[in-house]
Amino acid sequence: METVTLNNGYKLPLQGFGVFQITDLKQCEESVGNALKAGYRFIDTAACYGNEKAVGNAIANSGIARNEICIASKVWIQDSGYKKTMKSFEKTLENLKTDYIDLYLIHMPYGDYHGSWRAMEELYRQGKIKAIGVCNFLEDRLVDLLLSHEIKPMVNQIEFHPFYQQKKLQNICDKYDIQIMAWAPFAQGNLDIFHNETLCTIGKKYNKSNAQVILRWLYQNHIIAIPKSVHEDRIKQNYAIHDFSLTQEDLQTIQTMDKEIPLILNITDLAEVYRLHGITFEQ
């Protein structure tokens, strides 16, 4: 399995599996189990998804050694700040049945994320986290964070798909050697992406689905993707992107699909700030 090396030297698989919105815990556990059987070795979850325990159960029951699987989780807004982040992290370890996390992220650029980062730096130095990063940080807050602390983020997990490629943010991440991880690589089905003619035309050349074309595009651009599915056949299909390569022309064609606006989360929209601050959960 191909990996990417983060700015601290830690390696993460380029292919990950996400569990956002898999709220049925039995289904989540089965899906993660199927992903591991398919070959995935990187599972992405979050405290506010409410399914960390299911992920932990699936990994524990997989028969695969813990050090062969990378796990990512995140601290939510209501647990921002130094003390709350420390407490939330310990609960995440308990839920996941592990004594360390491969990648721990600040979920949103709201609340006392500077306090959260100080806690994460401490946990990183203690070896309880192998890599630390952020989610949904745009250029201004990302640079502010890295200029304000000793350890710079190793990953920025962002909305990233053919319709929203965040080129300006890509440039900043490249400048500071911060790895991009794409959530919603299929744009959550928006704009009929699974039947998009441009992607269909490319896919027909290789007998591949639009989803496989998208994942191969990300793979060849060394962007980590975390597609989600609860269907075993689609999980297998999403992983099966190693028997073809996109040409430079294909890659450039997909670049032209960028609409330069978010389709799912506008992090600067005041309404979103209120909405996301209002989301609570119990771990």
Quick: pLDDT tens for 139-185.
Answer: 999 999 999 999 999 999 999 999 999 999 999 999 999 999 999 99
Residues linked to residue 164 through DSSP beta bridges, in sequence order: 161
Phi and psi, residue 104, nearest 5°: -120, 130
> CA nearest 44: which of 67, 19, 23?
19
CA atoms lying within 13 Å on the CB side of residue 97: 14
Q: Which of 10, 40, 49, 113 is catalytic?
A: 49
How far apart are alpha carbons 257 and 12 in whole angstroms? 28
Q: What is the mean pLDDT of residues 185-203?
A: 98
pLDDT tier for residue 282 given thresholds of 50, 70 and 90: confident
Q: How far apart are CA 169 and CA 175, in angstroms?
A: 10
- Domain ranges within the chain, ordered by starting residue: 3-277
Q: What is the share, in percent, of the chain residues with pLDDT greater than 70?
A: 100
The CATH superfamily assigned to 3-277 is NADP-dependent oxidoreductase domain (3.20.20.100)
| Active site (annotated) includes residue 49 | yes
Per-residue model confidence (pLDDT) at position 264: 98
Q: Does the annotation place 107 within a ligand binding site? A: yes
**In this model, does residue 281 exceed pLDDT 90?**
no
Nearest CA among 59, 55, 63, 60 for reference residue 28: 55
pLDDT at 1 over 90: no
Does the pLDDT at position 283 exceed 90? Answer: no
Summarised one tens digit per residue, pLDDT across range 34-73 is: 999 999 999 999 999 999 999 999 999 999 999 999 999 9
pLDDT of 250 over the 90 cut = yes
Rg (CA), the chain: 18
In this predicted model, what pLDDT tens digit does every residue of 254-274 receive, in sequence order? 999 999 999 999 999 999 999
Reported pTM: 0.97
In the predicted model, is pLDDT for residue 138 greater than 90?
yes
Tell me the pLDDT tens digit for each residue of 11-37.
Answer: 999 999 999 999 999 999 999 999 999
Average pLDDT over residues 191-208: 98
Neighbour-count burial for 29-53, b at 16+ CB within 10 Å, e otherwise: bbbbbbbbebebbbbbbbbbbbbbb
